[in-house]
């Protein structure tokens, strides 16, 4: 057995620990988006594979027998590539994800389908907005330059950001309710924009928004082709114990 974990999430790191503890042979892959990624207890590679063909070649070259896509629910391209490359290579593929967040009593969510729709939802007079969507898609919000944006990022941005009025806090979480209440109050935040990532590490901002009665523009997850998906490391271990071996290992 040789497992490839597509990482970049807390769940991927938890799985890496579990495989390392059990001495299950595995490799870990990062996209390379953050300057200093969390160290993993497994051999680790960094950078894109080169699309579906590149990933299929990597699977063959490294004799990968099981692929676990533990990327973020918004890493749509990587997840699509994982499904396609695993199918092409005849190896089993599993997604390890977190269930999405669901609104609770007191929440003031406006659910939108993507970044563009979130940007449109901000049409309106000046507000102070916590834009908690990471770094990649900030440019879309230049179309709503009237707002002051508070950005929470893992790395300090090197290039000048496309938003005329903004401030940046550098933090990679996990975040606490006390910390996020203080952040929203100190910056006078009037609205949040975030992705429906799910999980515990970043949920504090939603609890804080509920307590402060603030509206949230919630970007829902991209739709993916149907795939085998589980929500726990334990379920991945059970799958590894029972998933069919790839065609090459069965000698076909």
d(CA 205, CA 151): 13
- What is the b/e burial string over 173-197, where b = at least 16 CB atoms within 10 angstroms of the residue's CB? bebeeeebbebbeeeebbbbbbbbb
The residues in 177-206 that bind ligand NAP, with binding defined as CB under 6 A, are: 195
- Contacting residues for 153 by C-beta, under 8 A, at least 6 apart: 134, 135, 168, 169, 170
Residue number, 29 or 89, with CB nearest to ligand NAP: 29
Task: Assess 15 for contact with ligand NAP (CB under 6 A).
Answer: no
| Nearest by Cα to 237 from 19, 30, 67 | 19
Report whether 224 contacts 120 (CB < 8 A).
no
The partner residues of 216 in beta bridges, in order of sequence, read 109, 192
Is 57 or 237 the residue whose CB approaches ligand NAP more closely? 57
Q: In angstroms, what is the minimal distance from the CB of 195 to ligand NAP? A: 6
Which parts of 105-164 interact with ligand NAP (CB under 6 A)? 134, 136
Shortest distance (Å) from residue 30 CB to ligand NAP = 6
DSSP state at residue 164: S
If one asks whether residue 6 binds ligand NAP (CB under 6 A), the answer comes out as yes
x-marked contacts with ligand NAP along 55-94 as a string, rule CB under 6 A: x---------------xx-xxxxx--x-------------
Q: How far is the CB of 91 from ligand NAP (least distance, A)?
A: 16
Residues within window 28-57 making contact with ligand NAP, judged by CB under 6 A: 29-31, 33, 48-51, 54-55
- Transcribe 98-135 into DSSP letters: -PPP---TT-EEEEESSHHHHHHHT-SS--EEEEES-S
Judged by beta carbon, residue 211 or residue 232, the one nearer ligand NAP is 232
What is the contact surface with ligand NAP in residues (CB under 6 A)?
6-9, 29-31, 33, 48-51, 54-55, 71-72, 74-78, 81, 134, 136, 195
């Amino acid at each position: 057995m040789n497992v490839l974990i597509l990482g970049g999430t807390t769940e991927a790191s938890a799985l890496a620990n579990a495989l390392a503890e059990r001495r299950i042979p595995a490799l870990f892959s990062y996209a390379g988006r953050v300057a200093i990624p969390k160290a993993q207890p497994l051999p680790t590679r960094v950078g894109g594979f080169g699309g579906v063909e590149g990933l299929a070649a990597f699977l063959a070259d490294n004799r990968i027998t099981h692929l676990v896509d533990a990327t973020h629910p918004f890493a749509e391209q990587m997840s699509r590539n994982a499904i396609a490359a695993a199918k092409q290579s005849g190896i089993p593929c599993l997604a390890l994800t977190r269930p999405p967040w669901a609104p609770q009593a007191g929440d003031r969510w406006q659910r939108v389908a993507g970044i563009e729709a979130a940007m449109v939802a901000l049409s309106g007079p000046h507000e102070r907005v916590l834009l908690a969507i990471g770094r990649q898609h900030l440019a879309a919000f230049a179309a709503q330059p009237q707002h002051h944006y508070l950005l929470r990022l893992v790395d300090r941005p090197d290039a000048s950001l496309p938003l005329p009025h903004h401030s940046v806090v550098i933090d990679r979480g996990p975040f606490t309710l006390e910390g996020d209440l203080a952040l929203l109050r100190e910056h006078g935040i009037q609205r949040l924009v975030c992705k429906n990532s799910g999980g515990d590490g970043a949920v504090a901002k939603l609890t804080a928004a509920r307590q402060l009665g603030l509206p949230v523009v919630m970007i829902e997850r991209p739709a993916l082709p149907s795939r085998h998906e589980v929500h726990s490391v334990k379920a991945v271990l059970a799958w590894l114990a029972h998933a069919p071996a790839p065609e090459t290992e069965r000698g076909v």
